Amino acid sequence: MQQQPPVSLSHTGFHVFDLDKMTGFYTRVFGFQVSDKAEDGRMVFLSGDPSDHHQLIMFRGRTAKTDDTHFAHVAFRVRDMDALRALAKRLAKETEVTDARTCTHGNAWSIYFKDPEGNQAEAFVDTPWHVAQPFYKPIDDMFDKTDKELEQWTDTMLNEFPTKRPFDDWRKDMAKKLGME
């Protein structure tokens, strides 16, 4: 079994205008549980993984306007395409979500959207391949394809790119660079 990485990204935190609304959104759409909250209501901890007490912390007190350029996005890995399709269906029911779009980064199949306070978020499934980043190709009909069709389409499309390789190979090289062999 691979050893624990020397450093791993565990959680992100951001300030929000409406903590109850944002907590409702992230628990509803992503299935996160509230793992704790401050007694005075200034912050909430959310997790979807028992190995992390919190993956997302939201604090009251946001002052940055929605059109300020500051926060790029937060991305959540989803187990498989069925789970991503189910998540996209829940997202479609959220009236305050905007700018949803589907794409591949070659190494991921992703849906991007803006959450109810305009923060860009991404939910994605790993593909079996690595390709040099940044890589972006829209797939408007991503959720109309079966897993097999999506995999075949992506495999063929990536053949044009010489940096394409199995993701596991890339991971092995990265583990080496990190001294994890």
Instruction: Please state the closest distance from residue 171 (CB atom) to Fe ion, in A.
Output: 17
- Across the chain, the runs of DSSP E, i.e. the strands, are 12-16, 33-37, 43-47, 56-60, 74-77, 98-104, 108-114, 120-126, 129-130, 137-138, 165-166
Residues from 122 through 151 that contact Fe ion (CB under 5 A): 122
Q: What angle do CA 4, 180, 11 make, to 5 degrees?
A: 40
Between 75 and 81, CB nearer to Fe ion? 75
Min dist. Cβ of residue 127 to Fe ion (A): 13
Q: Is 108 within 8 Å of 125 (Cβ atoms)?
A: yes
Give the residue closest to Fe ion by C-beta: 75
CB of 73 to Fe ion, least distance (A): 6
- Closer CB to Fe ion, 42 or 77, in the complex: 77
Applying CB under 5 A, the site for Fe ion has a residue count of 2
The residue count of the chain comes to 181
**Contact region with Fe ion (CB under 5 A), list: 16-24, 58-66, 78-86, 115-123:** 115-123
Instruction: Residue 46: name the closest of 127, 143, 121, 126 by CA.
Output: 121
Q: Where are the alpha helices (DSSP H) in the chain?
A: 19-30, 81-92, 147-158, 167-177
Is there binding between residue 75 and Fe ion (CB under 5 A)? Answer: yes
Q: Which is nearer to Fe ion, 27 or 120 (CB)?
A: 120
Nearer to Fe ion (CB atom), residue 77 or residue 89? 77
Give contact residues for Fe ion (rule: CB under 5 A): 75, 122
